Amino acid sequence: MPPENSKLIGRNFDPPDARAKVTGRARYPDDLLMDNLLHAKTVKSPYAHAKVKNIDTRPAKNMPGVKAVITYDDVPEFELSSGGDDQPGIDSEPRTFGYPVAAVAAEDEYTAATAAEAVKVEYEKLGHITEPTDALNPNKPTPWQNGATSQTTPDRAGDGIAGWTAGERVRWENADFSKLFPGSPGKFQREDGWGDLDAAWKESTVTIERSYKAHPMTVNPMEPRTIVAHWKSNGKVMLWPNTQDCSPVAHYVPTEFPDMAEKDLTVNTEYCGGGFGSKQQWNANVMIALPLSKKTNRPVKYRGTRREEHWYPRARGAYVVRVKAGFDDQGNCRALEMDAIGDGGAYGAGDVLVKGLGIFYESGVELFSPDALRLRGVAPHTNTPKKWPMRNPGTTQGALVLSQIFRLAAKKLDMDRFELRRKNIVTPGDRVLIPDELGVKTEMEDVQARPALEQCGQLFNWQEKKSRSGTREGSKIYGVGIGTSEAGAAWVGFDGLVIIRPDGMVETRQAVGNLGSQSHAAIARMVAETLKVPWDQVVVGWGHSDKGAYSVEQDGSATTWSAGLPGVKAAENMKTYLREIAANELGGSPDDYTVEDGAVFSGANRMTFAEAAQAGIQLGGTYTGEEIPERFKPLKEGEYERYTPKLWAQTVRAADDMIGNALVAFGHTSEADATFVTGSVSTMIEVAVDIETGKVEIEDMATVTGCGTIIHPRGARAQLEGGGIMGLGYALLDHMQYDPQTGIPVTNDWYQSKSPSIFDYPLEGIQTGFVDEPLEGSPHGAVGFGEPPMSASAAAVVDAVDDALDTDFQTFPLRPMKILQKIENGETRVK
């Protein structure tokens, strides 16, 4: 239900990009055609791991139409994220099949492809591994000549809180690798926890301990990652990076190119055909297109392909975990141990160590709320694509596993699974972890996990459905399952920008990306609601670094809160300006005035936004951005300060064309606004497992989000359904597989990696619901929740299959082959 007095929040609308998308007017990077456009192709390693001994680019350089050839000597290494180990765009030691060792730019794509094939490369083939546990095994090949894991190591300060620094790479010399999770493990790269574990184990009457392996998955966005770059001779650079982020790309890419100034780089991410996290920040192909363009001063397009999506991008990695949980006889979790080996892929495994494992641990803590906790982890490299990030990274792998712990515990405790989960799930005030800040425990500010679970139970009719558990009709056995998941969604340090033009139109200028989640539009709705302005009077801006306030990456389920709050703050500042201008023009006190319906008024005194803007332009100063309020003092170009109270330089630049010509209001979030809130999702699924074929049919599925106020019901429903289907795909179908002998992927296409089709979930639809109550400290009471639907449905469907067969699986996905083999092995209730 829309909140009382709301005109826009909680009501459906057509997102401003929808019409362009369905009519084909939306221009994605691959649609860009320019005069003088060059086409790039890469020379790819035919081995999973090799060293280039010699490379001869002359045959390509001498080819008519070829304008530039670059190798690993021409590109700077760069740090994709917090990985610790840099990832070069082109590598002299390619560590995964298909990784580029050189690139060419030519007048047309065919010439570029032929030229790339003409480059002569002599490789020294090196040993490879594709399983993360193998990286720790001293008897297996090293996936990288520099070491088997990242160097990232906690750097513990006196208070126990750790930063991250370069340290020792690890291998487990004396471990027993015959077990799924190696026995007698060696040194972990991160350890954390709280409470008296020994005492908690003693108080536990039921203990469950299991090891599992969650599998790797190709992200497979609809649009392969095509990039266009134009480094002009005047030093200006245009970049269409095909990412889901905008502002951070514009800020951080110049830090990799000493001769590129931040003010000279324009980043356009108006349209991006999906990314699911894997197009976070920028893709490694930036380091191909930009150097080629710099060399030629011509626009360069590097068209991504479906096969390259399997060879070269970021993906979801395998997690091998050991979980031990102890419960008292009332079902309260007293002790929890989570040991994890997270596949970091070929490059920057520190990302998985710091963030991926951190999020996995966070998800466990929020499900179990343990009194005592021990977390240990290591993130080795493998000779597979970089493994960070993808939709609830870590949590989704963990979801497969942790749901099974609950099921086994409930069975031993003779408790209903719903009750056991309800008892332990995170509630406001519970102690939680900040995933990437080792040692930091904080308090959950507000969370709707329990109400979402309870509402889902009603929607699904859990109590009735569970009575069908284990019953058989013909060759089908029924089972029901529960999954719950969270995603932290509130980051600070970003800007908002709202403009009212002399014609009265309101512009919301946020440089967030547009990967398809519609969160860029949700922000604009919140701004418009704050100003109580009619929607047709609003011009929504997004995805352009020169035309939008410095905004959060569009990932981590964070945009709604983290770009929404600074936008709302800018709108509130704008309201103040409008009242002051009206009082100045029409008399009375600013506090007397109301802002609504595109006007500011007090009794008979009334000004339209157009009139107020025109009056404000006469007054100038802070109203028009000619003076920036002291509290915002902007950073200099290229400058960065964490949690700064200052505006980013990009934000001020984005207002340039309107300064002095319109009302200009800024907003900003700083550390004072920081909070810990999450978007929550609960999912319940009934399956019918065909014991003769191993096929799983989804009989019924209900999913409910507790993410505060619903901004856009139709968009929220789409997130719940889409994420839920993706989770079904991960648990049942989708699998990135490699040939163990060569390390080369055998899944190279959609039909091989097997994303779920429209026929792989209930045709009659998925039941959806919203808690739809405001969350404390959130803009209009809302947070994002793009990620948890995937983890929740993956957990629920695994739980349901287990329930049907009265078993538990250690490896995934649960394709017919795995289920039927389990039945054949006599490891289920089917005798």
Partner 1 sequence: MQDDMIRPLQHIDANSIDHAISLLKEHGREATIIAGNTDEINWLKNRSRAPKVLIDLKPLGELRGFSRTIGGGLAIGPLESVTSVAENETIRDQYRVLSAAAQDVASLQIRNMGTIGGNLAQDSRCWYYRGGFDCYRAGGQTCYAMTGRNSDHAVTDYSRCITAHPSDGAVALMALDAEIDIRGASGKRSEPLSDFFVGPESNITVMNDLDRTEILTKIRIPGKWAGSSFYWEKIADRQAWDFPIVNIAAAIKKSENTVQDIRLVANGVAPTPKRLTGAERAIKGKKITEVNAKEAGKKSLPNAAPLSENKFKVPMTRNLVKRALLNAET
Closer Cβ to partner 1, 300 or 349, answer by number: 300
Residues numbered 685-724 forming contacts with partner 1, rule: CB under 8 A: 692-695
What strands, in cross-sheet order, belong to the sheet with 678-690?
Answer: 472-473, 476-488, 678-690, 696-706, 767-770
The answer to whether residues 627 and 596 touch, using CB atoms and an 8 Å cutoff, is no
C-beta of 112 vs 148, nearer to partner 1: 112
Spell out, one character per residue from 447 to 476, where the chain touches partner 1: x when CB under 8 A holds, - when not: ----------------------------x-
Q: Closest separation between CB of residue 123 and partner 1, Å? A: 13
Q: Does 817 bind partner 1 (CB under 8 A)?
A: yes
Q: Among 754, 781, 799, 809, indicate the residue that binds partner 1 (CB under 8 A).
A: 754
Q: Looking at beta carbons, which pairs linking 750-759 to residues 24 or more positions away fall under 8 Å?
A: 750/220, 750/306, 753/217, 753/218, 753/220, 753/310, 754/729, 755/220, 755/726, 755/729, 756/725, 756/726, 756/728, 756/729, 756/732
> 298 near 37, Cβ under 8 Å?
yes
CB of 739 to partner 1, least distance (A): 5
Contact window for partner 1 (CB under 8 A) among 240-248, 404-412, 444-452, 748-756 = 748-756
> Which C-beta is closer to partner 1: that of 307 or that of 441?
307
CA–CA separation, 681 and 679 (whole Å): 7
What CA–CA distance (Å, rounded) separates 381 from 130? 9
Q: How far is the CB of 475 from partner 1 (least distance, A)?
A: 8
Euclidean distance between CA atoms 793 and 197, whole angstroms: 31
**CA gap 482, 465 in Å, rounded:** 12
Phi, psi for residue 798 in degrees, rounded to 5:
-65, -45
Among 266, 737, 810, 811, which residue interacts with partner 1 (rule: CB under 8 A)?
737
Q: What is the dihedral of CA 535, 538, 541, 542, to 10 degrees?
A: -20
Task: Count the Cβ atoms, other than its own, within 10 Å of residue 63.
Answer: 16
State the Cα torsion 378-381-385-388 to the nearest 10°: 30
Of the candidate residues 296, 584, 752, 811, the single one contacting partner 1 (CB under 8 A): 752
Burial 681-720 (b: 16+ CB within 10 A, else e): bbbbbbbbbbbeebbbebbbbbbbbbbbbbbbbebbbebb
- Which residues lie below 8 Å from residue 248, measured CB to CB, with a gap of 6+? 281, 553
Question: Pairing mode, if any, of strands 265-267 and 495-500?
Answer: unpaired
Among 117, 124, 329, 671, binds partner 1 (CB under 8 A): 117
Sort strands 441-443 and 431-433 into parallel, antiparallel or unpaired.
antiparallel
Query: Residue from 62, 471, 618, 821 that binds partner 1 (CB under 8 A)?
Result: 821
CB 139, min distance to partner 1, A: 20
- CB burial of residue 631 (10 Å; 0-12, 13-18, 19+): exposed
Tokens representing 24 are 């084909």
Among the candidate windows 254-262, 680-688, 758-766, 784-792, which touches partner 1 by CB under 8 A? 758-766
Contact mark string toward partner 1, 645..684, x via CB under 8 A: ----------------------------------------
Selected from 759, 764, 765, 826, the binder of partner 1 by CB under 8 A is 759
Cβ closer to partner 1: 234 or 825?
825
* Contact yes or no for 591/624 (Cβ under 8 A): no
Which of 143, 317, 564, 745 lies at the binding interface for partner 1 (CB under 8 A)? Answer: 745
- Of 759 and 765, nearer to partner 1 (C-beta) is 759
CB of 404 to partner 1, least distance (A): 21
Which one of 132, 277, 722, 756 is in contact with partner 1 (CB under 8 A)? 756
Q: How far is the CB of 44 from partner 1 (least distance, A)?
A: 4
DSSP string covering 743-789, please?
A: --BS--SHHHHT---TTSS-TT--EEEE---PPTTSGGGB---SSHH
| Of 618, 620, 608, 650, the residue nearest 509 (C-alpha) | 650
Q: Please, what is the minimum distance in Å from the beta carbon of residue 310 to partner 1?
A: 10
Q: How many residues bind partner 1 (CB under 8 A)?
A: 48
Please say which residue, 250 or 733, places its beta carbon nearer to partner 1. 733
Single residue of 306, 412, 631, 714 touching partner 1 by CB under 8 A? 306
Q: Among residues 253 and 733, whose Cβ is nearest to partner 1? A: 733
Site string for partner 1, 308-347 (x = CB under 8 A): x---------------------------------------
Q: Which two tokens stand for residue 238?
A: 């245009």
Q: Which residues, at least 6 apart from 399, have a Cβ–Cβ distance to it below 8 Å?
A: 363, 392, 483, 485, 727, 791, 792, 794, 795, 798
| Token pair in block for residue 510 | 């946020």
255 binds partner 1 (CB under 8 A): no
Q: For residues 615 and 830, which CB has a smaller minimum distance to partner 1 in the complex?
A: 830
- Nearer to partner 1 by Cβ, of 329 and 749: the residue is 749
- Binding residue for partner 1, selected from 430, 820, 827, 829, defined by CB under 8 A: 820
**Residue 741 C-beta: closest distance to partner 1, Å:** 5
Q: Which of residues 219-238 bind partner 1 (CB under 8 A)?
A: none
Stretch that binds partner 1, among 2-10, 492-500, 557-565, 749-757 (CB under 8 A): 749-757
**Cβ burial 491-510 (10 Å sphere, 16+ → b, else e):** bbbbbbbbbbbbebbbbbbb
Q: Which two tokens stand for residue 702?
A: 């209900």
Residue 99: CB minimum distance to partner 1, A:
11
Residue 765 makes contact with partner 1 by CB under 8 A: no
Examine residue 535 and tell whether it contacts partner 1 (CB under 8 A): no
Buried b (16+ CB within 10 A) or exposed e, 744-776: bbebbeeeebbbbeeebbeeeebbbbbbbebbe
Q: What are phi and psi of 804, to 5 degrees?
A: -60, -40
Query: Is-contact 753 306, C-beta < 8 A?
Result: no
Residue closer to partner 1 by CB (options 222, 817) is 817
Distance of closest approach, residue 506 Cβ to partner 1, in angstroms: 43
Q: Does 166 bind partner 1 (CB under 8 A)?
A: no
Site for partner 1 in 12-71 (CB under 8 A): 41, 44, 46
User: What mask, x for binding partner 1 by CB under 8 A, covers residues 796 to 815?
Assistant: -------------------x
Chain positions 395 to 434 lying near partner 1, rule: CB under 8 A, are: none
Task: Tell me whether residue 475 or residue 589 sits nearer to partner 1 (CB atom).
Answer: 475
Taking every pair of Cα atoms in the chain, the longest distance, rounded to a whole number of angstroms, is 86
Neighbour count for residue 117 (Cβ, 10 Å)? 12
Stretch that binds partner 1, among 51-59, 88-96, 161-169, 298-306 (CB under 8 A): 298-306
Report whether 692 contacts 821 (CB < 8 A): no
Q: Based on the shown chain and the rule CB under 8 A, indicate whether residue 366 belongs to the binding site for partner 1.
A: no
Q: How far apart are alpha carbons 217 and 624 in whole angstroms? A: 50
Between 97 and 172, whose beta carbon lies closer to partner 1?
A: 97
Q: Are 95 and 347 in contact (CB under 8 A)?
A: yes
**Which of 307, 411, 472, 829 contacts partner 1 by CB under 8 A?**
307
**122: number of Cβ within 10 Å:** 11
Taking residues 86 to 115 in sequence order and writing x for each that binds partner 1 by CB under 8 A, - otherwise, the string is ------------x----------xx--x--
Site residues (vs partner 1, CB under 8 A):
41, 44, 46, 98, 109-110, 113, 116-117, 303, 305-308, 475, 692-695, 733, 737-742, 744-752, 754, 756-760, 815-817, 820-821, 823-824
